[in-house]
Chains A and B, each alone.
Chain A
Amino acid sequence: MNSVYYWILGRDFMKKEYLKLDKIEGPLIMLSEVEDASYGEIIDIDMAGEKRKGKVIKIEKDKVVAQVFEGTSELSTRNASIRFTGKPFEISLSKEILGRTFNGIGIPIDNGGEIYSNKKYNVNGRPINPVAREYPRNYIQTGISSIDCLATLIRGQKLPIFSGSGMPHNELAAQIVKQARISSSSNEEFGIVFAAIGVKHDDANYFKRNFEESGAIERVAMYINLADDPIVERTITPRCALTAAEYLAFEEGMHILVIMTDITSYCEALREISSAREEVPSRKGYPGYLYSDLASLYERAGMMKGNKGSITLLPILTMPNDDITHPVPDLTGYITEGQIVLGRELYQNNIYPPVNILPSLSRLMKDGIGEGFTRKDHPEVSNQLFASYSRVQEVRALAQIIGEDDLSEIDKKYMEFGKAFEGRFITQNFDENRNIEESLNLAWEILGILPKEELDRLSPEMIEEYYNS
């Protein structure tokens, strides 16, 4: 203890605090006569023992504008002391974060105490050098047939889920967290970083309870920003989660799946802050830099040469009015490598998870499936399912005009295939975890409804080996 004591008192120490604010405006505070402040620097705010944090967003001579993460409620120009830390926003990280729950700015909220580590990381991260990027290979099994078979999630990929309000994306996220695992039998470590952005209290409790009950909690680090938490905090939450993921992936060599829900709440927070800063609005009032801001998050996923870890990103976003051309899904689609779309019609037909496979796509799946990864028939089977289900849509449209009874025999087979595909393949219980083998076998079982000659995306060898076997 003596050494700790001498070490503390021997350190240069001086805490300079500013006791008077010039102005408070929304989440922003203004101070003057400030010395040595730097852009992006974090400030500590002390309000009679209540601690808050903020970030310098503007400096003009000795005047500073800072944005308070926890909001400015109850803050007056005379009841707080402000201290400039001289550092950007950093969080302490160690492997201990797995199994822990943090708030939106990385402060533990599970009564487990602080994370004490000498490893502190700037939440803004560092973009991966494009030359150092490694092309994603191999896959992550989610245990959900429609995703694993038809829009396979590849390690290092960024694959968003496009949902809508009221749709079961939270259940899907929880199910993926419970079931996700890396494919190979190797002893590589796998972990999940879960960021809940602007979620309701009951949703946050739902996630926590689910992860605890399923035993997944041990390998999950949760960052929760609640709907009634300040919006500034919301803009930090995904960055904290990604910083934690970067640490676990690139320092600890783990394969990390980052699930973030809901990115639309994040974008709305950005819009609100942008408006408070009086910035020129762009499409639907979102800031003009929404694209680059989203890219600064999404581009943190990937794999690096010479590093065995990976970050796979599964952001979930709700499309206002189910509009896929809305700026959030639209700009997300430019950056990410495909999308999984949830269909409202499927959901209304009681199909869970309501993955609408036709607009869904995983651009990298071709390089992470097939022999050596999943099973040799996987690429052909998924192509055939897409083709056949697409034909089902045409047949259904025809049946609406002429009636189901007047359809040709082959069209009736397609109708039967469509029902089986939606009812048995896409539909899955919340607790049903299908491995890739089971999903592919089920796909063959359903393809068995169609006559062999209709299976034009499958090679004769595959048909010989798997058709109705």
Chain B
Amino acid sequence: MITVEEKLDVFTKLVLEKVQREYEEKKREIEEKNNKIIKEYRLEIDKKCHKTIENIVNRGKIEKNRLISKAKVEGKRIVLGKKEELLEKLIKNIEAKALQFTYEDDYKDYLKNNLYAILKNLENKNSIILFFTERDRRRYDRNITDILKEKGFDIEKVKLEELDSSLIGGVIGMDQEKTIKIDCCIKTQIYDNKELIGQMLYDELGK
């Protein structure tokens, strides 16, 4: 015969088993849920991690590009600056050489040709002003007068003025009303050809 205690034991056992099962089930469910959450969270963290790494790498790349580009641009600017310096130096040398030329015999012909060209352009003007350097006036005064006479200019109506010595040499002509100016001075000629000088220099440097 089954005693009450035994019955209680069996009943207890059954209840315990049921609770145990339910507990296991719930535990499994919670574990599964948690695992899923952990997995999702891990994925999300991984994603964020990748994104962060990617962003850092991108930022690094941008910074790298910026630095490289800055250095290249700076380098190019320095080279261009040096070329420009070289060009200025070359022009200064040409100016010195040109000044030397004004003491040579060929300069007389150069000046005469320029004077002819100026007078041709001012032939319809009544009174004109001619600018020569003080030295040229001293040295070539007679030649200038001869040319003016030859070209039919009234000497009384031609005013000779001093050309700034910084212009090296050559001649500038102007009408009395100061409406037109013909510039045949050496410095203007050099600076007018600056681009061509630069081109020749750069071509040489490029070889």
Asked if A13 and B184 sit within 8 Å, CB to CB, the answer is: yes
How would you classify the secondary structure of chain B's contact residues: helix, strand, loop or mixed?
helix
Asked if A9 and B101 sit within 8 Å, CB to CB, the answer is: yes
Asked if B180 and A16 sit within 8 Å, CB to CB, the answer is: yes
Asked if B181 and A112 sit within 8 Å, CB to CB, the answer is: no
Asked if B195 and A114 sit within 8 Å, CB to CB, the answer is: yes
A-contact 0/1 string along B128-171, CB 8 Å cutoff = 00000000000000000000000000000000000000000000
Closest 3 CB pairs of A and B: A116-B198, A215-B65, A215-B69
Q: Roughly how many angstroms separate A16 CA and B173 CA in the complex, as a whole number?
A: 9
Complex contacts, B45 vs chain A, CB 8 Å? none
**A166 at interface by CB-CB < 8 Å:** no
Q: Roughly how many angstroms separate A311 CA and B82 CA in the complex, as a whole number?
A: 33
Q: Roughly how many angstroms separate A347 CA and B197 CA in the complex, as a whole number?
A: 53
Given A4-B200, A112-B76, A116-B195, A14-B178 contact (CB < 8 Å): no
**B12 at interface by CB-CB < 8 Å:** no
Q: Roughly how many angstroms separate A311 CA and B160 CA in the complex, as a whole number?
A: 58
Max chain A C-beta neighbours (<10 A), residue from B98, B180, B197: B180
Complex contacts, A14 vs chain B, CB 8 Å? 114, 117-118, 121, 182-184
**B56 at interface by CB-CB < 8 Å:** no
Asked if A118 and B199 sit within 8 Å, CB to CB, the answer is: yes
**A1 at interface by CB-CB < 8 Å:** yes
Please give me the residue from chain A that is nearest to B179 by CB atom: A20
**B34 at interface by CB-CB < 8 Å:** no
Please give me the residue from chain B that is nearest to A111 by CB atom: B77
Chain A interface residue count, CB cutoff 8 Å, equals: 35
B-contact 0/1 string along A1-33, CB 8 Å cutoff = 110110011010111111110000000000001
Given A16-B180, A19-B178, A212-B70, A11-B193 contact (CB < 8 Å): yes
Complex contacts, A11 vs chain B, CB 8 Å? 189, 193
Asked if B190 and A8 sit within 8 Å, CB to CB, the answer is: yes
Interface contacts (Cβ under 8 Å), in number, total 119
Given A1-B97, A19-B178, A112-B76, A214-B62 contact (CB < 8 Å): yes
Min CB distance B171 to A, Å, is 10
Complex contacts, B179 vs chain A, CB 8 Å? 18-20, 33
Given A8-B193, A14-B117, A15-B183, A113-B81 contact (CB < 8 Å): yes
**B80 at interface by CB-CB < 8 Å:** yes
Complex contacts, B201 vs chain A, CB 8 Å? 116
**A461 at interface by CB-CB < 8 Å:** no
Given A13-B192, A92-B195, A99-B76, A113-B83 contact (CB < 8 Å): yes
Q: Roughly how many angstroms separate A375 CA and B126 CA in the complex, as a whole number?
A: 80
**A171 at interface by CB-CB < 8 Å:** no
Q: Roughly how many angstroms separate A214 CA and B84 CA in the complex, as a whole number?
A: 28
Given A9-B186, A15-B188, A116-B198, A431-B178 contact (CB < 8 Å): no
Q: Roughly how many angstroms separate A20 CA and B177 CA in the complex, as a whole number?
A: 9
B-contact 0/1 string along A194-232, CB 8 Å cutoff = 000000000000000000111111100000000000000
Asked if B181 and A217 sit within 8 Å, CB to CB, the answer is: no
Q: Roughly how many angstroms separate A20 CA and B68 CA in the complex, as a whole number?
A: 52
Asked if A431 and B83 sit within 8 Å, CB to CB, the answer is: no
Q: Roughly how many angstroms separate A4 CA and B195 CA in the complex, as a whole number?
A: 12
Max chain A C-beta neighbours (<10 A), residue from B69, B84, B182: B69
Asked if B94 and A1 sit within 8 Å, CB to CB, the answer is: yes
B-contact 0/1 string along A228-263, CB 8 Å cutoff = 000000000000000000000000000000000000
**A72 at interface by CB-CB < 8 Å:** no
21 chain-A/chain-B pairs, Cβ below 8 angstroms: A4-B90, A5-B94, A8-B197, A9-B98, A11-B189, A13-B188, A14-B114, A14-B118, A14-B184, A15-B183, A15-B188, A16-B182, A20-B178, A33-B179, A110-B77, A113-B83, A114-B195, A116-B199, A117-B202, A118-B199, A215-B68
Min CB distance A271 to B, Å, is 34
Complex contacts, B23 vs chain A, CB 8 Å? none
Q: Roughly how many angstroms separate A156 CA and B72 CA in the complex, as a whole number?
A: 30
**B110 at interface by CB-CB < 8 Å:** yes
Q: Roughly how many angstroms separate A1 CA and B174 CA in the complex, as a whole number?
A: 33
**A435 at interface by CB-CB < 8 Å:** no
Q: Roughly how many angstroms separate A86 CA and B203 CA in the complex, as a whole number?
A: 26
Min CB distance A233 to B, Å, is 20
Asked if A113 and B190 sit within 8 Å, CB to CB, the answer is: no
**A274 at interface by CB-CB < 8 Å:** no
**A183 at interface by CB-CB < 8 Å:** no
Asked if B180 and A18 sit within 8 Å, CB to CB, the answer is: yes
A-contact 0/1 string along B51-67, CB 8 Å cutoff = 00000001000100110
Query: In chain A between 97 and 128, which residues have their CB closer than 8 angstroms to a CB of chain B?
Result: 99, 110-114, 116-118
Complex contacts, A356 vs chain B, CB 8 Å? none
Given A9-B186, A18-B179, A81-B181, A1-B93 contact (CB < 8 Å): yes
**B14 at interface by CB-CB < 8 Å:** no
Complex contacts, B19 vs chain A, CB 8 Å? none
Min CB distance B80 to A, Å, is 4
Please give me the residue from chain B that is nearest to A94 by CB atom: B202
Task: Return the contact of B189 from the options A13, A212, A217 (Cβ within 8 A).
Answer: A13
Complex contacts, B195 vs chain A, CB 8 Å? 92, 114, 116
Complex contacts, B97 vs chain A, CB 8 Å? 1-2, 5
Min CB distance A253 to B, Å, is 19
Q: Roughly how many angstroms separate A216 CA and B196 CA in the complex, as a whole number?
A: 31
Min CB distance A18 to B, Å, is 6
Task: Return the contact of A213 from the options B69, B110, B184, B202 (Cβ within 8 A).
Answer: B69
Please give me the residue from chain B that is nearest to A3 by CB atom: B200
Complex contacts, A112 vs chain B, CB 8 Å? 76-77, 80-81, 84
Q: Roughly how many angstroms separate A141 CA and B165 CA in the complex, as a whole number?
A: 61
Min CB distance B75 to A, Å, is 10
Asked if B69 and A212 sit within 8 Å, CB to CB, the answer is: yes
Complex contacts, B189 vs chain A, CB 8 Å? 8-9, 11, 13
